[in-house]
Amino acid sequence: MISLISKRIWQSLLLLFLASVLCFSLVISAPGNVAILIAELRSPIVSKEDIAKVAEEIGLNKPLPLRYVGWLGDAIQGNFGISYKTGEDVGESLEKRLSITATLIAGGAAFALMGSLFLGFVGALYAHRMPDYLARGAALISASTPSFFVGALLVYAFSVALRIFPTFGYGGPISWVLPWTTIGLLPASVLSRVVRVGLEEAMARPYVLTAMSKGLTRSQILFRDAMPNIIPTYLSALGTQVGVMVVGAVVIEPMFAWQGVGELFLTGVRFRDFMVVQACLLIFITFFIVVNLTVDVGMMLTDPKLRRQRS
Amino acid sequence: MTFVYACRATLSKVPPLALLAIGAFVFLGIFSSWLAPYNPNTQNLLLAGQGPGADHWFGTDHLGRDTFSRLIVASRTSLVGVFLVLILANTVGICIGTIAGYRRGWTDEVLMRFVDVGLAIPSLIIALAVIGIFGTSYWNMIISLALAWWPGSARISRGVALNIMNKPHIEALRVLGASPLRIYFFHLLPGTIGAVLVYATADAGAIALAIATLSFLGLGIQPPTPEWGQMLVDALPYLEGDPRQVILPGLALTFAVIGFNILGESFALNRVPAPMSRRMLVSRRRVTASWKKVMV
Protein backbone atom coordinates (compact mmCIF):
# COMPACT_ATOMS: atom_id res chain seq x y z
CA MET A 1 0.00 0.00 0.00
CA ILE A 2 2.67 2.49 1.05
CA SER A 3 4.93 1.42 -1.80
CA LEU A 4 2.01 1.89 -4.19
CA ILE A 5 1.48 5.44 -2.97
CA SER A 6 5.17 6.29 -3.02
CA LYS A 7 5.40 4.96 -6.57
CA ARG A 8 2.53 7.25 -7.52
CA ILE A 9 4.29 10.20 -5.87
CA TRP A 10 7.48 9.51 -7.82
CA GLN A 11 5.47 9.36 -11.02
CA SER A 12 3.95 12.74 -10.23
CA LEU A 13 7.35 14.24 -9.50
CA LEU A 14 8.68 12.97 -12.84
CA LEU A 15 5.63 14.40 -14.57
CA LEU A 16 6.13 17.71 -12.79
CA PHE A 17 9.78 17.80 -13.83
CA LEU A 18 8.96 17.10 -17.50
CA ALA A 19 6.17 19.66 -17.44
CA SER A 20 8.50 22.30 -16.00
CA VAL A 21 11.00 21.54 -18.78
CA LEU A 22 8.16 21.98 -21.26
CA CYS A 23 7.22 25.30 -19.64
CA PHE A 24 10.80 26.49 -19.79
CA SER A 25 11.40 25.37 -23.37
CA LEU A 26 8.21 27.06 -24.53
CA VAL A 27 9.59 30.46 -23.56
CA ILE A 28 13.07 29.62 -24.89
CA SER A 29 11.54 28.84 -28.28
CA ALA A 30 9.69 32.17 -28.36
CA PRO A 31 10.51 34.27 -31.37
CA GLY A 32 12.28 37.57 -30.68
CA ASN A 33 14.94 38.58 -28.21
CA VAL A 34 13.81 38.83 -24.61
CA ALA A 35 16.70 41.14 -23.72
CA ILE A 36 15.49 43.77 -26.22
CA LEU A 37 12.01 43.63 -24.69
CA ILE A 38 13.32 44.26 -21.18
CA ALA A 39 15.71 46.96 -22.28
CA GLU A 40 12.87 48.74 -24.05
CA LEU A 41 10.82 48.51 -20.88
CA ARG A 42 13.54 50.29 -18.90
CA SER A 43 14.35 53.17 -21.18
CA PRO A 44 12.83 54.47 -24.38
CA ILE A 45 16.15 54.63 -26.23
CA VAL A 46 17.95 51.30 -26.46
CA SER A 47 21.58 50.91 -27.48
CA LYS A 48 23.41 47.68 -28.19
CA GLU A 49 25.30 47.97 -24.90
CA ASP A 50 22.02 48.15 -22.99
CA ILE A 51 20.80 44.95 -24.59
CA ALA A 52 24.08 43.20 -23.82
CA LYS A 53 23.89 44.44 -20.22
CA VAL A 54 20.34 43.14 -19.80
CA ALA A 55 21.24 39.81 -21.40
CA GLU A 56 24.12 39.45 -18.96
CA GLU A 57 21.90 40.46 -16.05
CA ILE A 58 19.11 37.93 -16.63
CA GLY A 59 21.61 35.26 -17.57
CA LEU A 60 20.80 34.87 -21.25
CA ASN A 61 24.43 34.11 -21.99
CA LYS A 62 24.61 31.10 -19.68
CA PRO A 63 24.15 27.57 -21.07
CA LEU A 64 20.55 26.30 -21.19
CA PRO A 65 20.72 23.70 -18.38
CA LEU A 66 22.12 26.31 -16.01
CA ARG A 67 19.39 28.74 -16.99
CA TYR A 68 16.78 26.06 -16.37
CA VAL A 69 18.13 25.29 -12.91
CA GLY A 70 18.26 28.98 -12.06
CA TRP A 71 14.73 29.54 -13.32
CA LEU A 72 13.33 26.54 -11.46
CA GLY A 73 15.08 27.53 -8.24
CA ASP A 74 13.60 31.03 -8.47
CA ALA A 75 10.16 29.66 -9.34
CA ILE A 76 10.11 27.32 -6.34
CA GLN A 77 10.84 30.32 -4.10
CA GLY A 78 7.92 32.16 -5.67
CA ASN A 79 10.12 34.45 -7.74
CA PHE A 80 8.75 34.43 -11.27
CA GLY A 81 10.55 37.51 -12.54
CA ILE A 82 8.89 40.70 -13.74
CA SER A 83 6.28 41.14 -16.42
CA TYR A 84 7.73 42.41 -19.71
CA LYS A 85 4.67 44.50 -20.36
CA THR A 86 3.66 46.08 -17.05
CA GLY A 87 6.93 45.78 -15.13
CA GLU A 88 5.06 44.28 -12.16
CA ASP A 89 6.46 41.43 -10.13
CA VAL A 90 4.67 38.33 -11.43
CA GLY A 91 4.96 36.45 -8.14
CA GLU A 92 3.28 39.29 -6.25
CA SER A 93 0.37 39.65 -8.65
CA LEU A 94 -0.11 35.87 -8.59
CA GLU A 95 -0.26 35.95 -4.81
CA LYS A 96 -2.94 38.65 -4.86
CA ARG A 97 -5.04 36.73 -7.37
CA LEU A 98 -4.78 33.20 -6.05
CA SER A 99 -7.55 33.60 -3.46
CA ILE A 100 -10.02 34.78 -6.12
CA THR A 101 -9.37 31.81 -8.38
CA ALA A 102 -9.47 29.50 -5.37
CA THR A 103 -12.92 30.88 -4.48
CA LEU A 104 -14.11 30.27 -8.02
CA ILE A 105 -12.78 26.72 -8.27
CA ALA A 106 -13.83 25.69 -4.76
CA GLY A 107 -17.36 27.00 -5.30
CA GLY A 108 -17.54 25.41 -8.72
CA ALA A 109 -16.31 22.09 -7.32
CA ALA A 110 -18.93 22.22 -4.56
CA PHE A 111 -21.62 22.94 -7.15
CA ALA A 112 -20.37 20.09 -9.35
CA LEU A 113 -20.28 17.70 -6.39
CA MET A 114 -23.84 18.43 -5.26
CA GLY A 115 -25.27 18.72 -8.76
CA SER A 116 -23.74 15.51 -10.02
CA LEU A 117 -24.72 13.47 -6.97
CA PHE A 118 -28.27 14.81 -7.15
CA LEU A 119 -28.69 14.15 -10.87
CA GLY A 120 -26.93 10.80 -10.70
CA PHE A 121 -29.00 9.52 -7.80
CA VAL A 122 -32.26 10.77 -9.26
CA GLY A 123 -31.36 8.89 -12.44
CA ALA A 124 -30.51 5.72 -10.57
CA LEU A 125 -33.55 5.87 -8.27
CA TYR A 126 -35.98 6.30 -11.15
CA ALA A 127 -34.01 4.23 -13.65
CA HIS A 128 -35.53 4.24 -17.14
CA ARG A 129 -38.41 6.46 -16.09
CA MET A 130 -39.17 10.10 -16.72
CA PRO A 131 -36.85 11.65 -14.05
CA ASP A 132 -33.98 9.54 -15.34
CA TYR A 133 -34.48 10.65 -18.94
CA LEU A 134 -34.80 14.27 -17.85
CA ALA A 135 -31.62 14.07 -15.79
CA ARG A 136 -29.73 12.42 -18.64
CA GLY A 137 -30.99 14.93 -21.20
CA ALA A 138 -30.05 17.83 -18.95
CA ALA A 139 -26.59 16.33 -18.44
CA LEU A 140 -26.07 15.82 -22.18
CA ILE A 141 -27.13 19.36 -23.04
CA SER A 142 -25.12 21.05 -20.33
CA ALA A 143 -22.07 18.92 -21.13
CA SER A 144 -22.22 20.19 -24.73
CA THR A 145 -22.89 23.86 -24.01
CA PRO A 146 -19.77 26.02 -24.05
CA SER A 147 -19.19 27.70 -20.69
CA PHE A 148 -19.16 31.20 -22.17
CA PHE A 149 -22.63 30.58 -23.60
CA VAL A 150 -23.84 29.27 -20.24
CA GLY A 151 -22.44 32.40 -18.63
CA ALA A 152 -24.15 34.68 -21.14
CA LEU A 153 -27.49 32.89 -20.70
CA LEU A 154 -27.27 33.02 -16.91
CA VAL A 155 -26.38 36.70 -16.95
CA TYR A 156 -29.28 37.38 -19.27
CA ALA A 157 -31.75 35.40 -17.20
CA PHE A 158 -30.72 36.32 -13.66
CA SER A 159 -29.10 39.74 -14.02
CA VAL A 160 -30.77 41.41 -16.97
CA ALA A 161 -34.25 39.96 -16.85
CA LEU A 162 -34.81 38.99 -13.20
CA ARG A 163 -32.24 41.34 -11.61
CA ILE A 164 -31.38 38.93 -8.80
CA PHE A 165 -27.60 38.71 -9.12
CA PRO A 166 -25.08 41.35 -10.24
CA THR A 167 -23.83 41.07 -13.84
CA PHE A 168 -20.17 41.07 -12.86
CA GLY A 169 -17.75 41.85 -10.06
CA TYR A 170 -16.24 40.12 -7.05
CA GLY A 171 -18.03 41.48 -4.02
CA GLY A 172 -19.62 39.13 -1.55
CA PRO A 173 -21.40 35.80 -1.92
CA ILE A 174 -24.27 37.23 -4.00
CA SER A 175 -21.90 38.01 -6.85
CA TRP A 176 -20.30 34.55 -6.58
CA VAL A 177 -23.42 32.58 -7.44
CA LEU A 178 -23.41 33.09 -11.22
CA PRO A 179 -19.69 32.37 -11.79
CA TRP A 180 -19.92 29.29 -9.57
CA THR A 181 -22.88 27.97 -11.50
CA THR A 182 -21.22 28.75 -14.83
CA ILE A 183 -18.00 26.95 -13.98
CA GLY A 184 -19.67 24.08 -12.16
CA LEU A 185 -22.28 23.12 -14.72
CA LEU A 186 -20.00 21.25 -17.11
CA PRO A 187 -18.24 19.12 -14.46
CA ALA A 188 -21.59 18.51 -12.75
CA SER A 189 -23.07 17.02 -15.91
CA VAL A 190 -19.99 14.96 -16.75
CA LEU A 191 -19.81 13.63 -13.19
CA SER A 192 -23.53 12.88 -13.04
CA ARG A 193 -22.96 10.41 -15.85
CA VAL A 194 -20.19 8.78 -13.85
CA VAL A 195 -22.53 8.42 -10.88
CA ARG A 196 -25.42 7.19 -12.99
CA VAL A 197 -23.40 4.61 -14.94
CA GLY A 198 -21.47 3.50 -11.86
CA LEU A 199 -24.64 2.97 -9.83
CA GLU A 200 -26.27 1.09 -12.67
CA GLU A 201 -23.25 -1.18 -12.97
CA ALA A 202 -23.21 -1.77 -9.23
CA MET A 203 -26.93 -2.52 -9.25
CA ALA A 204 -26.31 -5.38 -11.69
CA ARG A 205 -24.06 -7.21 -9.24
CA PRO A 206 -25.08 -10.38 -7.35
CA TYR A 207 -24.87 -8.78 -3.88
CA VAL A 208 -27.65 -6.43 -4.90
CA LEU A 209 -29.76 -9.46 -5.68
CA THR A 210 -29.02 -10.70 -2.18
CA ALA A 211 -30.01 -7.34 -0.71
CA MET A 212 -33.23 -7.38 -2.74
CA SER A 213 -34.07 -10.86 -1.53
CA LYS A 214 -33.58 -9.61 2.03
CA GLY A 215 -36.39 -7.17 1.27
CA LEU A 216 -34.48 -3.89 1.25
CA THR A 217 -35.94 -1.04 -0.78
CA ARG A 218 -34.25 0.29 -3.90
CA SER A 219 -33.09 3.49 -2.22
CA GLN A 220 -31.65 1.57 0.73
CA ILE A 221 -29.70 -0.65 -1.64
CA LEU A 222 -28.52 2.35 -3.63
CA PHE A 223 -27.11 4.17 -0.64
CA ARG A 224 -25.82 1.25 1.41
CA ASP A 225 -24.64 -1.30 -1.13
CA ALA A 226 -24.15 0.45 -4.43
CA MET A 227 -22.73 3.81 -3.36
CA PRO A 228 -19.42 2.62 -1.82
CA ASN A 229 -18.61 0.99 -5.16
CA ILE A 230 -18.66 4.19 -7.13
CA ILE A 231 -16.57 6.28 -4.71
CA PRO A 232 -13.13 5.42 -6.19
CA THR A 233 -14.25 6.00 -9.79
CA TYR A 234 -16.11 9.13 -8.78
CA LEU A 235 -13.10 10.54 -6.92
CA SER A 236 -10.81 10.06 -9.88
CA ALA A 237 -13.31 11.67 -12.26
CA LEU A 238 -13.81 14.52 -9.79
CA GLY A 239 -10.06 15.12 -9.72
CA THR A 240 -9.87 15.36 -13.50
CA GLN A 241 -12.83 17.70 -13.60
CA VAL A 242 -11.47 19.98 -10.88
CA GLY A 243 -8.20 20.15 -12.81
CA VAL A 244 -9.99 21.03 -16.03
CA MET A 245 -11.88 23.77 -14.18
CA VAL A 246 -8.78 25.92 -14.65
CA VAL A 247 -9.81 26.19 -18.30
CA GLY A 248 -13.19 27.40 -17.11
CA ALA A 249 -11.48 29.95 -14.87
CA VAL A 250 -9.58 31.38 -17.85
CA VAL A 251 -12.84 31.89 -19.75
CA ILE A 252 -15.17 32.84 -16.90
CA GLU A 253 -13.01 35.17 -14.81
CA PRO A 254 -12.75 37.82 -17.57
CA MET A 255 -16.49 37.44 -18.27
CA PHE A 256 -17.41 38.38 -14.72
CA ALA A 257 -14.48 40.80 -14.35
CA TRP A 258 -12.80 38.76 -11.61
CA GLN A 259 -9.11 39.61 -11.24
CA GLY A 260 -7.96 36.02 -10.80
CA VAL A 261 -5.08 33.93 -12.08
CA GLY A 262 -7.09 32.87 -15.14
CA GLU A 263 -7.61 36.49 -16.09
CA LEU A 264 -3.90 37.17 -15.55
CA PHE A 265 -3.02 34.23 -17.81
CA LEU A 266 -5.38 35.42 -20.51
CA THR A 267 -3.98 38.97 -20.40
CA GLY A 268 -0.50 37.47 -20.56
CA VAL A 269 -1.47 35.41 -23.61
CA ARG A 270 -3.09 38.41 -25.29
CA PHE A 271 -0.08 40.67 -24.90
CA ARG A 272 2.48 37.87 -25.30
CA ASP A 273 3.83 38.53 -21.83
CA PHE A 274 6.10 35.48 -21.61
CA MET A 275 6.92 35.66 -17.93
CA VAL A 276 3.25 35.79 -16.97
CA VAL A 277 2.31 32.96 -19.33
CA GLN A 278 5.16 30.83 -18.05
CA ALA A 279 4.40 31.46 -14.39
CA CYS A 280 0.66 30.80 -14.78
CA LEU A 281 1.32 27.67 -16.83
CA LEU A 282 3.62 26.34 -14.15
CA ILE A 283 1.03 27.07 -11.45
CA PHE A 284 -1.75 25.41 -13.48
CA ILE A 285 0.32 22.30 -14.18
CA THR A 286 1.32 22.00 -10.54
CA PHE A 287 -2.33 22.34 -9.61
CA PHE A 288 -3.44 19.52 -11.96
CA ILE A 289 -0.69 17.20 -10.89
CA VAL A 290 -1.25 17.82 -7.18
CA VAL A 291 -5.04 17.43 -7.54
CA ASN A 292 -4.64 14.20 -9.48
CA LEU A 293 -2.11 12.87 -6.99
CA THR A 294 -4.40 13.66 -4.05
CA VAL A 295 -7.31 12.04 -5.79
CA ASP A 296 -5.35 8.94 -6.70
CA VAL A 297 -4.17 8.52 -3.11
CA GLY A 298 -7.77 9.02 -1.99
CA MET A 299 -8.85 6.42 -4.52
CA MET A 300 -6.33 3.92 -3.19
CA LEU A 301 -7.54 4.54 0.36
CA THR A 302 -11.22 4.15 -0.50
CA ASP A 303 -10.89 1.16 -2.82
CA PRO A 304 -10.52 -2.03 -0.76
CA LYS A 305 -9.25 -3.92 -3.80
CA LEU A 306 -6.35 -1.48 -4.13
CA ARG A 307 -5.90 -1.13 -0.37
CA ARG A 308 -5.33 -4.82 0.24
CA GLN A 309 -3.22 -5.31 -2.85
CA ARG A 310 0.36 -6.26 -2.14
CA SER A 311 2.46 -4.43 -4.68
CA MET B 1 -10.92 -2.14 -46.28
CA THR B 2 -10.75 -2.25 -42.52
CA PHE B 3 -11.63 1.40 -42.52
CA VAL B 4 -14.70 0.89 -44.69
CA TYR B 5 -15.90 -1.95 -42.48
CA ALA B 6 -15.29 0.14 -39.37
CA CYS B 7 -17.25 3.03 -40.88
CA ARG B 8 -20.15 0.86 -41.95
CA ALA B 9 -20.29 -0.95 -38.63
CA THR B 10 -20.24 2.26 -36.62
CA LEU B 11 -22.55 4.27 -38.87
CA SER B 12 -25.33 1.78 -38.34
CA LYS B 13 -24.92 2.16 -34.57
CA VAL B 14 -24.85 5.96 -34.50
CA PRO B 15 -27.95 7.46 -32.87
CA PRO B 16 -30.11 9.38 -35.36
CA LEU B 17 -29.88 12.67 -33.46
CA ALA B 18 -26.10 12.60 -33.74
CA LEU B 19 -26.32 11.79 -37.43
CA LEU B 20 -28.74 14.69 -37.92
CA ALA B 21 -26.61 17.22 -36.02
CA ILE B 22 -23.31 16.20 -37.58
CA GLY B 23 -24.90 15.84 -41.01
CA ALA B 24 -26.35 19.35 -40.79
CA PHE B 25 -23.03 20.73 -39.57
CA VAL B 26 -21.04 19.13 -42.37
CA PHE B 27 -23.65 19.91 -45.04
CA LEU B 28 -23.89 23.59 -44.04
CA GLY B 29 -20.13 23.78 -43.79
CA ILE B 30 -19.51 22.42 -47.27
CA PHE B 31 -22.30 24.26 -49.11
CA SER B 32 -22.37 27.46 -47.03
CA SER B 33 -21.41 29.78 -49.89
CA TRP B 34 -24.43 28.61 -51.92
CA LEU B 35 -26.83 28.43 -48.99
CA ALA B 36 -26.22 31.81 -47.38
CA PRO B 37 -28.74 34.32 -48.77
CA TYR B 38 -26.52 37.37 -48.12
CA ASN B 39 -22.85 38.14 -48.01
CA PRO B 40 -22.04 37.57 -44.32
CA ASN B 41 -19.75 40.59 -44.15
CA THR B 42 -21.88 43.21 -45.87
CA GLN B 43 -22.66 45.89 -43.32
CA ASN B 44 -25.72 48.07 -43.48
CA LEU B 45 -26.02 50.30 -40.46
CA LEU B 46 -29.52 51.38 -41.51
CA LEU B 47 -30.70 47.82 -40.86
CA ALA B 48 -28.73 47.31 -37.63
CA GLY B 49 -30.37 45.36 -34.82
CA GLN B 50 -33.46 44.32 -36.73
CA GLY B 51 -35.71 41.55 -35.47
CA PRO B 52 -36.55 38.47 -37.53
CA GLY B 53 -38.43 39.23 -40.73
CA ALA B 54 -39.06 38.06 -44.26
CA ASP B 55 -35.83 39.62 -45.55
CA HIS B 56 -33.58 38.62 -42.68
CA TRP B 57 -34.86 35.41 -41.14
CA PHE B 58 -32.90 35.71 -37.91
CA GLY B 59 -32.60 39.50 -37.94
CA THR B 60 -29.41 41.51 -38.23
CA ASP B 61 -26.59 42.23 -35.81
CA HIS B 62 -25.37 45.57 -34.48
CA LEU B 63 -23.61 46.33 -37.77
CA GLY B 64 -26.60 45.34 -39.89
CA ARG B 65 -25.13 42.07 -41.10
CA ASP B 66 -27.53 39.22 -41.84
CA THR B 67 -27.36 36.82 -38.87
CA PHE B 68 -28.72 33.82 -40.79
CA SER B 69 -25.97 34.06 -43.40
CA ARG B 70 -23.33 34.58 -40.75
CA LEU B 71 -24.49 31.53 -38.81
CA ILE B 72 -24.28 29.38 -41.95
CA VAL B 73 -20.89 30.64 -43.05
CA ALA B 74 -19.59 30.21 -39.50
CA SER B 75 -20.18 26.48 -39.79
CA ARG B 76 -17.67 26.40 -42.65
CA THR B 77 -15.09 28.27 -40.57
CA SER B 78 -15.61 25.75 -37.80
CA LEU B 79 -15.63 22.72 -40.10
CA VAL B 80 -12.41 23.68 -41.88
CA GLY B 81 -10.71 24.41 -38.55
CA VAL B 82 -11.80 21.12 -37.01
CA PHE B 83 -10.72 19.22 -40.11
CA LEU B 84 -7.26 20.80 -40.18
CA VAL B 85 -6.70 20.23 -36.47
CA LEU B 86 -7.85 16.61 -36.69
CA ILE B 87 -5.58 15.92 -39.67
CA LEU B 88 -2.53 17.53 -38.08
CA ALA B 89 -3.05 16.10 -34.61
CA ASN B 90 -3.76 12.60 -35.88
CA THR B 91 -0.83 12.57 -38.30
CA VAL B 92 1.54 13.33 -35.46
CA GLY B 93 -0.37 11.17 -32.97
CA ILE B 94 -0.61 8.11 -35.21
CA CYS B 95 3.08 8.34 -36.16
CA ILE B 96 4.22 8.57 -32.54
CA GLY B 97 1.68 6.02 -31.33
CA THR B 98 2.43 3.38 -33.95
CA ILE B 99 6.19 3.79 -33.52
CA ALA B 100 5.78 3.34 -29.76
CA GLY B 101 3.49 0.35 -30.30
CA TYR B 102 5.78 -1.21 -32.89
CA ARG B 103 9.12 -0.74 -31.16
CA ARG B 104 7.96 -1.07 -27.54
CA GLY B 105 10.78 -1.14 -24.98
CA TRP B 106 12.52 2.12 -24.16
CA THR B 107 11.23 3.94 -27.28
CA ASP B 108 7.74 3.32 -26.00
CA GLU B 109 8.68 4.44 -22.49
CA VAL B 110 10.24 7.72 -23.61
CA LEU B 111 7.50 8.61 -26.10
CA MET B 112 4.74 7.78 -23.65
CA ARG B 113 6.28 9.98 -20.94
CA PHE B 114 5.93 12.92 -23.34
CA VAL B 115 2.38 11.86 -24.08
CA ASP B 116 1.69 11.70 -20.34
CA VAL B 117 2.82 15.29 -19.92
CA GLY B 118 0.59 16.36 -22.79
CA LEU B 119 -2.36 14.50 -21.34
CA ALA B 120 -1.74 15.86 -17.85
CA ILE B 121 -2.40 19.42 -19.03
CA PRO B 122 -5.88 20.34 -20.31
CA SER B 123 -5.80 20.88 -24.06
CA LEU B 124 -7.04 24.44 -24.02
CA ILE B 125 -4.33 25.53 -21.57
CA ILE B 126 -1.65 24.11 -23.89
CA ALA B 127 -3.25 25.86 -26.86
CA LEU B 128 -3.48 29.16 -24.97
CA ALA B 129 0.14 28.95 -23.84
CA VAL B 130 1.35 28.26 -27.39
CA ILE B 131 -0.69 31.19 -28.71
CA GLY B 132 0.69 33.33 -25.88
CA ILE B 133 4.23 32.61 -27.01
CA PHE B 134 3.85 32.71 -30.79
CA GLY B 135 1.11 35.30 -31.15
CA THR B 136 -2.43 35.32 -32.47
CA SER B 137 -3.16 34.17 -36.01
CA TYR B 138 -5.27 31.58 -37.79
CA TRP B 139 -2.45 29.12 -38.36
CA ASN B 140 -1.08 29.59 -34.86
CA MET B 141 -4.52 28.64 -33.57
CA ILE B 142 -4.65 25.51 -35.74
CA ILE B 143 -1.12 24.46 -34.81
CA SER B 144 -1.63 25.15 -31.12
CA LEU B 145 -4.79 23.03 -31.07
CA ALA B 146 -3.02 20.25 -32.97
CA LEU B 147 -0.21 20.40 -30.40
CA ALA B 148 -2.81 20.13 -27.67
CA TRP B 149 -4.61 17.18 -29.25
CA TRP B 150 -1.88 14.88 -30.54
CA PRO B 151 -1.14 13.21 -27.17
CA GLY B 152 -4.66 11.82 -26.99
CA SER B 153 -4.42 10.46 -30.50
CA ALA B 154 -0.97 9.00 -29.78
CA ARG B 155 -2.28 7.23 -26.68
CA ILE B 156 -5.14 5.63 -28.60
CA SER B 157 -3.05 4.67 -31.62
CA ARG B 158 -0.45 3.09 -29.38
CA GLY B 159 -3.13 0.94 -27.79
CA VAL B 160 -4.52 -0.04 -31.17
CA ALA B 161 -1.03 -0.71 -32.56
CA LEU B 162 -0.14 -2.92 -29.58
CA ASN B 163 -3.35 -4.82 -30.14
CA ILE B 164 -2.57 -5.36 -33.83
CA MET B 165 1.04 -6.36 -33.14
CA ASN B 166 -0.19 -9.09 -30.82
CA LYS B 167 -2.34 -10.63 -33.51
CA PRO B 168 -1.31 -13.89 -35.16
CA HIS B 169 -1.14 -12.53 -38.71
CA ILE B 170 1.76 -10.24 -37.75
CA GLU B 171 3.59 -13.22 -36.35
CA ALA B 172 2.86 -15.11 -39.56
CA LEU B 173 4.24 -12.21 -41.58
CA ARG B 174 7.44 -12.27 -39.53
CA VAL B 175 7.80 -15.98 -40.10
CA LEU B 176 7.26 -15.49 -43.82
CA GLY B 177 10.11 -12.99 -43.77
CA ALA B 178 8.28 -9.71 -44.26
CA SER B 179 10.59 -6.76 -43.59
CA PRO B 180 9.83 -4.47 -40.61
CA LEU B 181 9.01 -1.63 -43.00
CA ARG B 182 6.53 -3.82 -44.84
CA ILE B 183 4.84 -4.86 -41.61
CA TYR B 184 4.75 -1.25 -40.43
CA PHE B 185 3.48 0.43 -43.59
CA PHE B 186 1.26 -2.27 -45.10
CA HIS B 187 -0.20 -3.92 -42.03
CA LEU B 188 0.20 -1.89 -38.87
CA LEU B 189 -0.40 1.63 -40.18
CA PRO B 190 -3.58 1.02 -42.23
CA GLY B 191 -5.22 -0.91 -39.42
CA THR B 192 -4.35 1.75 -36.86
CA ILE B 193 -5.48 4.66 -39.02
CA GLY B 194 -8.90 3.10 -39.56
CA ALA B 195 -9.58 2.53 -35.89
CA VAL B 196 -8.10 5.81 -34.68
CA LEU B 197 -10.00 7.97 -37.17
CA VAL B 198 -13.25 6.60 -35.83
CA TYR B 199 -12.34 7.80 -32.34
CA ALA B 200 -11.07 11.07 -33.78
CA THR B 201 -14.52 11.95 -35.11
CA ALA B 202 -15.83 11.88 -31.58
CA ASP B 203 -13.11 14.40 -30.64
CA ALA B 204 -14.33 16.82 -33.29
CA GLY B 205 -16.92 18.27 -30.92
CA ALA B 206 -14.30 19.17 -28.35
CA ILE B 207 -12.14 20.75 -31.06
CA ALA B 208 -15.08 22.78 -32.42
CA LEU B 209 -15.69 23.94 -28.85
CA ALA B 210 -12.02 24.85 -28.41
CA ILE B 211 -11.98 26.85 -31.65
CA ALA B 212 -15.11 28.70 -30.54
CA THR B 213 -13.64 29.32 -27.08
CA LEU B 214 -10.40 30.69 -28.51
CA SER B 215 -12.37 32.91 -30.88
CA PHE B 216 -14.55 34.04 -27.98
CA LEU B 217 -11.40 35.07 -26.13
CA GLY B 218 -10.23 36.96 -29.22
CA LEU B 219 -7.31 34.59 -29.81
CA GLY B 220 -8.66 32.46 -32.61
CA ILE B 221 -10.59 33.48 -35.65
CA GLN B 222 -10.49 37.23 -36.08
CA PRO B 223 -13.37 39.44 -37.18
CA PRO B 224 -14.86 39.93 -39.71
CA THR B 225 -14.70 36.17 -40.50
CA PRO B 226 -17.92 34.80 -39.02
CA GLU B 227 -17.41 32.19 -36.31
CA TRP B 228 -19.89 31.19 -33.61
CA GLY B 229 -17.75 32.04 -30.59
CA GLN B 230 -16.61 35.28 -32.14
CA MET B 231 -20.19 36.24 -33.12
CA LEU B 232 -21.24 35.60 -29.54
CA VAL B 233 -18.56 37.81 -28.01
CA ASP B 234 -19.30 40.47 -30.63
CA ALA B 235 -22.94 40.61 -29.56
CA LEU B 236 -22.26 40.35 -25.82
CA PRO B 237 -22.21 44.14 -25.18
CA TYR B 238 -25.73 44.33 -26.65
CA LEU B 239 -27.04 41.45 -24.51
CA GLU B 240 -29.65 43.58 -22.80
CA GLY B 241 -31.25 44.98 -25.94
CA ASP B 242 -30.74 42.15 -28.40
CA PRO B 243 -30.16 38.79 -26.68
CA ARG B 244 -31.02 36.89 -29.86
CA GLN B 245 -27.64 37.69 -31.41
CA VAL B 246 -25.96 36.02 -28.42
CA ILE B 247 -28.31 33.07 -28.15
CA LEU B 248 -28.39 32.00 -31.81
CA PRO B 249 -24.66 31.37 -32.33
CA GLY B 250 -24.53 29.69 -28.92
CA LEU B 251 -27.37 27.38 -29.87
CA ALA B 252 -25.79 26.53 -33.24
CA LEU B 253 -22.52 25.62 -31.54
CA THR B 254 -24.26 23.64 -28.81
CA PHE B 255 -26.28 21.68 -31.36
CA ALA B 256 -23.16 20.68 -33.32
CA VAL B 257 -21.31 19.71 -30.14
CA ILE B 258 -24.29 17.68 -28.85
CA GLY B 259 -24.14 15.67 -32.09
CA PHE B 260 -20.47 14.87 -31.62
CA ASN B 261 -20.95 14.11 -27.92
CA ILE B 262 -23.72 11.59 -28.63
CA LEU B 263 -21.46 10.07 -31.26
CA GLY B 264 -18.60 9.86 -28.79
CA GLU B 265 -20.90 8.29 -26.24
CA SER B 266 -21.97 5.62 -28.69
CA PHE B 267 -18.29 4.86 -29.35
CA ALA B 268 -17.63 4.71 -25.63
CA LEU B 269 -20.33 2.05 -25.44
CA ASN B 270 -18.06 -0.12 -27.56
CA ARG B 271 -15.38 -0.05 -24.93
CA VAL B 272 -17.29 0.19 -21.67
CA PRO B 273 -20.81 -1.12 -21.98
CA ALA B 274 -23.18 1.16 -20.10
CA PRO B 275 -25.29 -1.15 -18.00
CA MET B 276 -29.04 -1.20 -18.35
CA SER B 277 -30.89 -3.94 -16.57
CA ARG B 278 -29.08 -7.17 -15.76
CA ARG B 279 -30.52 -8.93 -18.74
CA MET B 280 -29.89 -6.06 -21.15
CA LEU B 281 -26.40 -5.77 -19.79
CA VAL B 282 -25.61 -9.33 -20.80
CA SER B 283 -27.01 -8.90 -24.30
CA ARG B 284 -25.30 -5.54 -24.75
CA ARG B 285 -22.00 -7.07 -23.73
CA ARG B 286 -22.43 -9.73 -26.35
CA VAL B 287 -23.19 -7.11 -28.99
CA THR B 288 -20.34 -4.79 -28.06
CA ALA B 289 -17.89 -7.67 -28.07
CA SER B 290 -18.76 -8.26 -31.69
CA TRP B 291 -18.33 -4.55 -32.52
CA LYS B 292 -14.87 -4.61 -31.09
CA LYS B 293 -13.85 -7.32 -33.51
CA VAL B 294 -15.13 -5.27 -36.41
CA MET B 295 -13.51 -2.05 -35.25
CA VAL B 296 -10.00 -3.23 -34.50
Contacts of A101 (CB under 8 A, 6+ apart): A249, A253, A258, A260, A261, A262
Percent of chain A with pLDDT over 90: 24
Report CB contact under 8 Å: A30, B262: no
Contacts of A70 (CB under 8 A, 6+ apart): A59, A62
Alpha-helical (H) ranges within A204-226 are 206-213, 218-221
- B260, B18 Cβ separation under 8 angstroms: yes
B66 phi, psi to nearest 5 deg: -70, 115
pLDDT digits (tens, 9 = 90+) for B80-110: 999 999 999 999 999 999 999 998 889 998 9
Q: What is the mean pLDDT of residues B61-73?
A: 83
Half-sphere exposure of residue B93, counting CA atoms within 13 Å on the CB side? 32
CATH number of B2-289: 1.10.3720.10
Q: What is the pLDDT of residue B274?
A: 40
Contact pairs from chain A to chain B, CB under 8 Å? 132
pLDDT digits (tens, 9 = 90+) for A36-70: 777 776 677 777 777 777 777 766 777 788 888 88
Q: How far is CA A73 from CA A66, A68, A103, A290, in A?
A: 11, 8, 28, 19
Percent of chain B with pLDDT over 90: 29
Report CB contact under 8 Å: A289, B209: no
Report CB contact under 8 Å: A160, B229: no
Note whether A34 contacts B: Cβ–Cβ < 8 A: no
Contacts of A100 (CB under 8 A, 6+ apart): A170, A253, A258, A259, A260, A261
Report CB contact under 8 Å: B254, A251: no
pLDDT digits (tens, 9 = 90+) for A22-39: 888 887 777 766 777 777
Mean pLDDT over all residues of chain B? 83
- Residues of chain B contacting A289 with CB distance shorter than 8 Å: 120
pLDDT digits (tens, 9 = 90+) for B168-194: 888 899 999 889 899 999 989 988 888
What HEC string does B48-115 produce? CCCCCCCCCCCCECCCCCEHHHHHHHHHHHHHHHHHHHHHHHHHHHHHHHHHHHHHCHHHHHHHHHHH
pLDDT digits (tens, 9 = 90+) for B3-22: 666 666 666 667 788 888 88
